[in-house]
Structure 1
Amino acid sequence: MLTMADKEATVYIVDVGASMGERHHGRSETDLDWALRYVWDKITSTVATGRKTATLGVVGLRTDDTTNELDSEEGYAHISVIQPISQILMPDLRSLRSALVPSSTNSGDAISALVIAIQMISTYCKKLKYRRKIILLTDARGSMETEDIDEITKKINEDNIELVILGVDFDDPEYGVKEEDKDPRKAQNEETLKSLTETCDGVFGTLQQAVDELGIPRIKSVRPVPSYKGQLTLGDPEKYDSAMSIDVERYPRTMVAKPPSASQFVTASNPADGDASIQSSATMAGSSDLGPSAGQAALTSVRNARTYQIEDSEAPGGKRDVDRDDLAKGYEYGRTAVHISETDENITKLETMASFDIIGFVPKDKYERYMHMSTTCIVIAQRTNDKAQMALSSLIHALWELESYAVARLVTKDDKSPLIVLLAPSIEADYECLLDVQLPFAEDVRSYRFPPLDRVQTVSGKVLTEHRNIPTRELQDAMDTYVDSMDLSTFGRDDEGNPAEFMPIEDTFSPVLHRIDQCVRWRAVHPAEPIPPPYEILTRFSRPPDDLVEQASDPLRDLIKIADVKKVSPRQKGRKRARDRTKPLSGLDVDELLGREKRTKISPENAVPEFKQMLETTEDLGAIQDASKQMSVIIENLIRHSVGDSGYGRAIEALNAMREELTALEEPTLYNDFVRSLKNKLLKGDLGGDRRDMWWEIRRNRVGLVDKKLSSRSEVSEEEAAQFYTSR
C-alpha cells in the first residue's frame, strides 16, 4: 500500500506498431485504442493526485522514428521516448494523445524497449528510494531478441522494479480467454514474456481482464490523523488515587467521502498579463503548444472580492463603503442587535481544556440507535505504551462482558466545544478498540409525535384495533411474505456458491463520487468526445436484481389481491374545468338541499368568495371568462374609488384570488391579459389619478404574470415575468 511519502517512477511502454491499428475478434475499436483505455485510466489517476513525487514516462514501441539514448546501437531502432520521466500535467497528457497513434511499421523489439525503460528509471531515480514500475502493453506480433534476457532479469531484480506485462488477446485460462488460430510468432513471444515476468516475480495477464476491471473504483488510501491524543479518565486523577487514567488516541473510523469540487475559471483575454498569474493546469508549463491555436484557451481563476456598505444619506447612492476592521459583532435579539465588543468577546466563549472523561455507563439494550449524531471514531491505546494497552483492553472487555456502553465528555482541543459521546466496545480477532459516536444534547432532539399505526383512538378516547385504516391480519401476513421475498441479506452468493449478502459494503461504491471522477478523467484526455455512460458497477445497485423481482412476483400478486389495490385511470390530458369538491360525510349535496342556484353575478361587497363559488359550479369556458371579466371590473373600481390606499388591500386580495383560481383552472392567459392591462392603466393614471402606490403593492405581493414554471399553459417565460415588475 502506498503512503503519502512514497515516491513513484513508472514507465509505460506502449506498442504502436501497424498491427496494433487493426481490429480483432469483433471489437469496434483498434487494438491500440483498446489498450489505451487502460493507459489513460492509469495516467489520469496519477495526474489527478497532483503529487510532484508521482512521476511517469512513456516509451513508444514500433514507432516510425527512433528517439532514445541507445539509438546508435543495434537492436534499438523504432523505439521512441515520447515522455521522459517527470510529473505529468494537462498539456503533457494531451500531447501524449496526439503521439500515441498507430505507426506504419511492425519493426521494433519489446525486449529492447524494456532496456530503455530500465535505463530511464536508473538515471532518474539513481540510488534514491522510489517505487519503480514498468508496464508493457503489446500484441507480441513483432520480433524479439532474447539473447540478453537473463541480464535484463537480473537488472530488474537488483533495482527492485515491478514488471507488469499486459497483452492483447493473450491466453489466460483462469480468466477464460484463449485466442484460436494464434500466430506462431505471437505464441512464442507470449511464452517468452510470461517466462520473463515469472522470473522477475512480476505480473503477466491478458488485456481483457485489465480493461474489464477499469470500472472497479479505486479506494483512496487516507493517512489517519488523530483528532485527540491524551488521557481517558474515570474520576479525577488529581483528587483521587483510585481514579482511572489511560493514555489513548482517537482516529476517524468512518468519514463522508466528498466528490471533487469544481472551481470557477474564465477565459483569459491575455494570459501574459500580470493579473493572470493564477492559472489552471491547462495553462501551466508547456502550454505554448496548447494555446488558442490548438483549441485550448488559457484559463484564469476567478478572484472574489467582498465589500461592506452602510446607509449614508450624504454618500452617492445613499450607501458608503466601510472597512471590515471598522465593523463590530452583534447578536440578534428580537428586532435589535446586541453589540459585543472585542474586549468582551470571550464572554460568549466557553473556556474548556482538552479532556476525555467518562461520566457514566448505560446498558446496551437501553440505547436507541437513532441517537447517533455523527460519524464514527475509534479510540485505541497509545502506541508503544504497554501499560495503556493493558488498561484499555481491561475496560473494553469489562464493557463487553457486562453488555454496557460508556458515556463520556470529550473536548478535542483547548477552547473547543464539549461533546457527549458514546463508547462501545469492539473486539476483533486481531485488534480491540472503543467505537465512539456523538450523542445529542436536549436541544438537538426533535420530539415529534405521530399517531400509532396499529390502533385508532377516537375523540371520546376509545381505542379501536379494527378499523378501515388498520391492516387486517391477512393483509399483514401478505405484506410480511412480500417483504421476506425481497430480502437482500442472503440473495448474493460467495465464491463457494453459498448464500451471502447481496450488497456488501466493500462492493457498494458512491455513484456520484466515482461518476464525477470518471467524467473528469475522460474529458482531460478527450476534450471533444461524448462522455461515456457510467460503469455498470456504479449502477447495479440502483435497481433490484431481476431474479429477485421474479422471485417476489407471486407474493406481490397475492398482496395486491388481498389489499384490493385498483388501478386509477390516468388523468385525462387537457384543461381541468371541474375540480373535486369536498363532500360531507353524509354524502348529501348541501347546495341542492338549500335550493341554491348557480351564481351568475358577483357582488363587489363579497367578491372573492362569490368569484370562487362561481368557478366551482361551472365547467363552461364562457362562464369562466364572464367571471374573470366581472372580477376585473371590480378590481379596477376598488382602485379607482379608493381614498388614498384604503382600497388597495381588498384589490390585492381579489387579484391574488383571481390569479390562483385561474391558474388552477389552467386559464392563465385570462389573468395575464388583465394584469397587463391593469399595469398600463395604473402607470398612465387612468384609474382615478396617480395610482403608482398600487403598482408598488402589486410588485411587493408578487401578483404579476403567471409564467411557464407556475403553469404549463402559460406562454410567458420566467424572464418576461420578472421583467414585468419593472415600471416600464
Structure 2
Amino acid sequence: MAGKEATLVLLDVGASMYEPYKQAQGKNITRLELAVDCIGMMIQQKIFNYKNHEVGLVLFGTEEAEDGNTFYIQVMSPPDLEFYRNLTELPNHDVPKIKGGDIFDALDKAVSTLDEYVKAKKMEKKIFVLTAGFGQTDYNEKKIGKLIKMIEKVDVKINFIAMDFMNEYDVELDDPTKPENQATLNDRMLNAVYQHQEQSINSRLIYQMVQELRNHMRIFPANIAFELYSQFHTKQMQARASFRGDFQINDETSIQVLIYKRCAEDRLPSLKKHSAIGEYSSEPTRNIVRNDSIHYNPEDPNMNPIERENIIKGYQYGRNLIPVDSLMEEKMKYQCNRSFQLLGFVERSQIPRHYFIFNVDMVIAIDCEKARKSLSALIIALIATKKVAIARFVGRQKSSPKLMLLLPHKSKSYQCFWMISLPTSEDIRHFQFSTLRKSTPNQQSAVATLIDKMNLETIPNESGEPEELLKMKYIANPTRQYFQQVVMHKAITRTDVIPPISPLILDYLHPERRVYNYAQDAIQRVKNAFKFKVNDIKKPQDKKVFWKQLFDEQTAQQQVPEQIEEEIVEINREEEEMVNMFAKQKFGFNDDIIQEIGSVDPISDFKKMITEKRVDLVDSALQQIQKVINALVDQSVKGSFFPKALECLKEMRKACISEDEAPVFNKFLFVLKDKYNQQLFWAQIVQQGITLISDIENHKSSVTAEEAQDFLNKEDNKHQQMVDQLQNEEEDLLADIE
C-alpha cells in the first residue's frame, strides 16, 4: 500500500460548468457531471485501496462563498460515504450567475490551507483543479510568480484538468530537450483562439506556470473523456523490493541489485462471509462466519471424525497408492538457497515470444555508483549485440529455482532488466495442426489493406488527424471498476438494483466501433477475396455400414468440383508472382534476400534461405543444396571437395528435420547411394553415419529406426573394403603427423 497522502480537490461550480461537455462524443453530459464522476471515482479508489489517504473538497465560483470565490464543502479527512453523497448532489444545485471562479485565487488559498494542515506530517501533498477556465482573475504575471515560489516551497503536486479548455496543449511536445517540439507547442498555445477572453487569459497564465513548475504541475486537456478518469482510477503502489541481493555473474564477480514487480495481475478484493440471520451491523468484524471441516471415512456408517494426526497423503502410482507423510513430502521438494545467478547469453531471436510466462519484474542496481555502472555496462553491451541473458533465480530461501529471461532496457531516465519466467519442457504444450492452404496475391493484398485500415494508432478523428484509440496507460480493468461501482451504489442506496457500468468507460474499451466504420471498404474487400462456404454438420450415423453407403461416399469423393481444381492451378501459377511482386512492393522487402546458394559458402547461404521469415524459400533451398552437393562430388579431384559436400549434406539433414521435409532428404540419400555406391564419397557417408531420417526424428518420415540403421549396414564386400581402406589411410596419415 502507498504512503500517506493529503489531496485537495478544487472544483469550479460556475455557470460554465453546467453547460454540455463538448468532447462527450454524442453523450448528453455536462462538464460538472463529468467532473463529479471523476472525483467520485477517486473517492471510490481511496475508500477501497488507501485507508490512510485524506481528501478535501473546495468549490470556487459559487455565490455562497464568504470571500466571493471559495467555499469549503469538505475539510481534510479520510473519505466516507457521506462525502460521496454530498458530492453526487452538486449537479442538482441551481445554476449560479457567476460564469466561473478565480482559478489562481482558489489555488493560492488551497496551497496555504494544505501546507498549514500537513505541517510536519509525512504526507504527500496533491491538488486537483477541474475547471472550464471562464472565471475572471486579478492575478498578473507578478502575482503568478509569487504563487509559483510558494508552490515550490510547499512542494505540492498540482494536476490541472481542463474541460473544453486548453485542448491545444500536448504533453508529448512539452519537452525542453527537443527545441523544435517546444517551439511548436509555444506557437500553438500563444496563438490559441477562444470564444471568451477569460479563457485566453487563464490559458496563458496556466501555461506560464507549467513551464516553470515542470516537476510540480501537469495539464490534462479533456480531449478524451476517459483520460480524466485515468487520473483518478490509477492504483499507486509503494515501491517495495521483492528481492535484494547479489546478481552473481561468476564465482568472483557479483552486482547488488533490487527486483520490483513491474507487471502483475490485479485481483478483485476477496468477499468475506457473514451471517445473514444475525443482527445486522455495519461493523466489518461482526457476524463473521468461520469455516470448520471434519474428516471421516466414507465406509464408516457412523461417520466418526478422524484426527489430523491420523491422516496421511498418498500418491497414486499406477494401480498402487504410495503413502507420503509430511516429513517425506517436505524432503521430496527440490529446495535451493536464495540466489540470483547468471547462466549465459543467447541471441534475442532464439527466445520465442510464446515462451514468456507469468509476471514481469524489474531488475535495477542498488543506490551505489559502482553497482549502477556495472549493471549499466552489461545492459548496454547486450543491447549493442542484440542478445539477452538467461539467469537462475531463487527468490526465497528453500524455494524452487526458476529459469529467467533478462531483457535489457534503456530509456532516458533509467536502465534495467525486464525479468520474465521461461518455461521448462513440462510447461510447453506441443500441438499438431494441419498445414494451411496457400493464399493468392489478391487475398494477401486484401488482408494487408485491412491491417493498415485497422491500425489503432492512425485512426483519424473528426478533424482528420491521426489519433491513437487504445492507449494502454488509460485502460482500466472494467471488471474491477464495475465491482467498485456496484459496492458503492449498494452502500449508498441499500437496494438490490444493479447500476449499469459507466458508458464513458465502455466507449473507450470498444474502439472497434470507430475502426469498423473506417475500415468498411477493406472489410468488404476481404469478404470478396475469400469465398466462405457453409460447413454442413453430418448427422450421426449408425455403426453399421452398408455396401450402398460406401459406394455413394466413394462416388461423392471422386466428383471434385472443377472450381476447386482451377483454383489450385491458379495458386500454383501465381505463387512465383506473389513472392516477387507482393512481398517487395507491399511490405518493402529489401533485395538482400538470398535467392541462390553459391559455391563459396553454400552452408551459410542455405541457412539464410531456410530461416528467411519474409519469403518461404525452403523448397528452393533444398533443391539448390542437392545440386551443390552433386557438383562438389563430381568436380572433386581425389576427394578434395568431399568434406565440404558432407557438411552440406549434414546441414540439409538438420533442415529437413526442423522443416518437416524428411521425405525430401530420404529420397535424395537414395539417389546418392545409387549414384556413388561404389565410390569413396559414399564410403565417407557410411563412415560418418549419415543415414535416413527415421519417424522418431520427424513424424513426416515413413522410415523406422531399424530401417534407417540397416540402410548403412547392408553393403557389399567391395564397398566394405573401401571403408576399411579409408580408415587405414586416415590411421597412416595420423602416424605421419605424429
When the two structures are superposed, what TM-score results if normalisation uses the length of structure 1? 0.55
Query: How far does residue 86 in structure 1 lie from its aligned partner after superposition?
Result: 0.7
**CA distance 1:414–1:149, shift in 2 (3 Å):** same
Counterpart of 2:359 (choices 363, 375, 381) is 375
Q: Give the Cα separation in 2 of the matches to 1:398 and 1:155.
A: 45
Q: Whole-Å Cα distance in 2 between the matches of residues 204 and 359 of structure 1?
A: 44
Partner of 2:457: 492
* 1:556-705 paired onto structure 2 within 5 Å: 556-560=527-531, 565-566=532-533, 579=539, 588-589=548-549
Partner of 1:12: 10
Partners of 2:132 and 2:344 lie apart in 1 by 68
Identity in percent? 19
- Of the three residues 281, 284, 290, the one matched with 1:278 is 284
- Whether 1:357 aligns to 2:341 is yes
Mapped contact 2:81–2:492 kept (Cα < 8 A): no
- Paired with 1:403 and 1:409, the residues of 2 have a C-alpha distance of 21
* Contact residue 133 and residue 202 of structure 2 kept, 8 A: no
Provide the residue aligned with 1:306 in structure 2: 292
Letter in 2 for 1:33: E
Q: Structure 1, residues 489-536: CA drift from partner, whole Å, max 9, x if none?
A: 967339999999978874683654565367458747985654333332
Q: Does the CA-based 8 Å contact 2:165-2:199 persist in structure 1?
A: no
| 1:37-56 equivalences in 2 (<5 Å) | 37-52=37-52, 54-56=53-55
Q: Are 2:482 and 1:516 equivalent residues in the alignment?
A: yes
Say if 2:364 and 2:416, in contact at 8 Å, map to a contact too: yes
Within 5 Å, give how 1:68-87 maps onto structure 2. Answer: 75-76=66-67, 80-87=71-78
**Conserved? CA contact 2:356–2:422, under 8 Å:** yes
- 8 A contact 1:259–1:516 mirrored in 2: no
Asked if 2 retains the 8 angstrom alpha-carbon contact of 1:13 and 1:59, the reply is yes
- Pair 1:255-2:264 in alignment: yes
> Is the 2:241–2:258 Cα contact (8 Å) retained in structure 1?
yes
Q: 1:532 aligns with which of 494, 499, 502?
A: 502
SS of the aligned residue for 1:83 comes to strand
The structure that is helix-richer by fraction is 2
CA distance in 1, matches of 2:491, 2:221: 20
> In the alignment, is the contact (CA less than 8 A) between 1:64 and 1:78 conserved in 2?
yes
- 1:553 CA displacement: 3.1
8 Å CA contact 1:163–1:197 kept in 2: the answer is: no
SS across alignment from 2:519? helix
Of the structure 1 ranges 106-115 and 30-39, higher mean CA displacement relative to structure 2 is found in: 106-115
- Tell me the residue number matched to 1:480: 444
**Contact conserved, 2:16 with 2:99, CA < 8 A, in 1?**
no
Output the CA distance in 2 between the equivalents of 1:505 and 1:105.
37
- Separation in 1, partners of 2:220, 2:260: 41
Shift of 1:143: 8.5
How many angstroms does 1:4 deviate by?
A: 2.8
Amino acid across the alignment from 1:213: E
Number of residue pairs matched? 514
* Match of residue 102 from structure 1: 93
Superposition deviation, residue 57 in structure 1: 1.4
What SS does structure 2 have at the residue aligned with 1:417?
coil
Q: Tell me how far apart the structure 2 counterparts of residues 113 and 389 of structure 1 sit (CA, whole Å).
A: 44
Contact 1:13–1:113 (CA under 8 A) maintained in structure 2: no
Query: Does residue 1:554 correspond to 2:545, yes or no?
Result: no
Q: Give me the whole-angstrom Cα distance separating, in 2, the residues matched to 1:139 and 1:431.
A: 37
Residue 91 in structure 1 maps to residue 78 in structure 2: no
Deviations 1:272-320 (A, max 9, x none): 5xxx7426xxxxxxxxxxxxxxxxxxxx675341211314888xx7223
> Structure 2: 5+ residue runs without aligned partners?
171-187, 554-738
- Provide closer, same or farther for how the CA distance between residues 507 and 318 of structure 1 changes in structure 2, counting only shifts above 3 A: same
The whole-number CA distance in structure 1 between the counterparts of 2:73 and 2:457 is: 47
Deviation per residue, 1:633-687 (Å, 9 max, x gap): xxxxxxxxxxxxxxxxxxxxxxxxxxxxxxxxxxxxxxxxxxxxxxxxxxxxxxx
1:147 shift after superposition = 12
1:685 corresponds to which residue?
Answer: none
Cα deviation code 1:293-352 (max 9, x no counterpart): xxxxxxx675341211314888xx722345556644444445665444445554223342
Aligned to 1:214: 228
Question: Could you tell me which residue of structure 1 aligns to residue 33 of structure 2?
Answer: 33
8 Å Cα contact 1:356/1:410 also seen in 2? yes
How high is the TM-score relative to the length of structure 2?
0.55
Q: Which amino acid aligns with 2:7?
A: A
The residue identity in structure 2 corresponding to 1:270 is: E
Following the alignment from structure 2 to structure 1, what is the Cα–Cα distance between the partners of residues 469 and 512?
8
Change (3 A) 1:551 1:332: same
Please give the alpha-carbon distance, in whole angstroms, between the structure 1 residues aligned to 2:416 and 2:18.
56
The 5 Å alignment of 1:166-565 reads 187=197, 191=201, 195=205, 198=208, 209=223, 211=225, 213-214=227-228, 216=230, 219-233=234-248, 237=251, 243-260=252-269, 270-271=279-280, 277-278=283-284, 302-311=288-297, 318-321=302-305, 324=308, 327-333=311-317, 337-359=321-343, 362=346, 364-386=348-370, 388-393=371-376, 395-396=378-379, 405-426=388-409, 432-451=415-434, 453=435, 471=437, 475-488=439-452, 492-493=457-458, 506=472, 509=475, 512-513=478-479, 515-516=481-482, 519-520=485-486, 523=489, 527=493, 530-533=500-503, 534-541=505-512, 544-560=515-531, 565=532
The CA RMSD over aligned residues, in Å, is: 5.4
CA contact (8 A) 1:419 1:438 kept: yes
What residue number does 2:712 align with? none
From the superposition, tell whether residues 128 and 227 of structure 1 become closer, same or farther in structure 2 (CA, over 3 Å). closer
SS in 2 for 1:229: strand
Distance 1:499 1:252, change over 3 A: farther
Q: Using the alignment, how far apart are the partners of 1:234 and 1:24 within structure 2?
A: 58
Contiguous gaps of at least 5 residues in structure 1: 67-74, 238-242, 280-299, 455-470, 572-577, 594-728
Question: How far apart are residue 87 of structure 1 and its match?
Answer: 0.9
- In the alignment, the residues of structure 2 paired with residue 326 and residue 477 of structure 1 have an alpha-carbon distance, to the nearest angstrom, of 71
The match for 1:291 is none
Cα distance change of structure 1 residues 199 and 521 upon mapping to structure 2, 3 Å threshold: farther
Aligned residue identity for 1:416: S
1:121 is matched with: 114
